Amino acid sequence: MFKQMHNVEKWVYPLLAIYMLVGIVIAFVDPEYYTTGWAREDGPVEWVTVIALLIACFVCIKRIVDLRSQKNAMFVLVWGFLALLVFFGAGEEISWGQRILGIESPEWFEQNNAQKETNLHNLVVGETKINKLIFSLGLGLALLTYLIVFSIAYRKSEKFKAFSDYFSVPIARGHHVLAWFAVAVVAEVIIKDVSRSSELFESGAAIVFLLNITFPHNGELFEKQSQTA
pLDDT of residue 103: 76
Predicted confidence (pLDDT) per residue in 130-173, tens digit: 665 565 677 778 888 999 999 999 999 999 999 999 999 999 99
pTM as predicted = 0.88
Question: Has residue 227 got a pLDDT over 70?
Answer: no
Is there a contact between 10 and 216 (Cβ–Cβ < 8 Å)? no
Answer positive or negative: Cα dihedral of 20, 198, 36, 27: negative
How confident is the model over 201-222, as a mean pLDDT? 94
Alpha helices in the chain (DSSP H): 7-29, 31-33, 44-67, 73-93, 98-101, 107-112, 130, 139-144, 151-156, 158-166, 174-185, 197-214
CA distances from 210 to 16, 55, 141, 158 (A): 12, 7, 19, 26
CA angle, residues 119, 124, 129, in degrees to nearest 5: 100
Contact 66, 224 (CB under 8 A): yes
Distance (Å, whole) CA 195 – CA 27: 9
pLDDT band at 206, cuts 50/70/90? very high
Quickly state the pLDDT bin for 121 (edges 50, 70, 90): low
Model confidence at 229, in pLDDT bands (50, 70, 90)?
very low
**Residues contacting residue 64 through CB under 8 Å, at least 6 positions apart:** 75, 76, 79, 80, 83
